[in-house]
Amino acid sequence: MVKIALFALVALVVIVVLRQYHPEYALLVAVTAGGILLVFLALEFASPIFTLIKMLEEYGSPQTLTGYILKALGICIITRFSADLCTDFGQTSLATKVEMAGKITLLLLSIPILQSILEVGLSLL
């Protein structure tokens, strides 16, 4: 985790300096640094995520529901990253639209989960 924090600090300094002299390069560095940080995080949390998947499968969660949970997590991460990047570069209106798109996508993704919950509820009655 220390590597991630140090990398973020170095990237921040580079972005701030570039923003003064070459704003177009600052955007490129920010996107690249964000992508590298996401890869670092994915590698850092791969083991706990695989443990979570294994645990969900052991306790009888259907594989499709596990897939939906992981897709929802990915949508949340990508949406937050994109919206924060837009906000960092002064595009708050675009950031709001990205967040709205993420919320709508999550809503659409949750329909099969809600359907399975309703089916279980109806079978209990």
Q: What residue segments make up the domains of the chain, in order of their start?
A: 1-46, 61-125
Three-state secondary-structure class, residue 17: helix
Q: Tokens 């594989």 sit at which residue?
A: 63
The pTM of the whole model exceeds 0.75 = no
Q: What mean pLDDT do residues 23-37 have?
A: 87
Q: Find the helix or strand (DSSP H, E) in which 1 lies.
A: none
Distances from the Cα of 46 to the Cα of 17, 62, 101, 125, angstroms: 33, 21, 27, 40
Q: What mean pLDDT do residues 7-12 have?
A: 88
How far apart CA 89 and CA 11 sit, in angstroms, is 15
How does residue 113 score in pLDDT terms, banded at 50, 70 and 90?
Answer: confident
The phi, psi pair for 108, rounded to 5°, reads: -65, -35
State pLDDT tens for residues 37-89.
Answer: 888 888 888 888 788 778 777 776 666 777 788 888 889 989 998 898 888 88
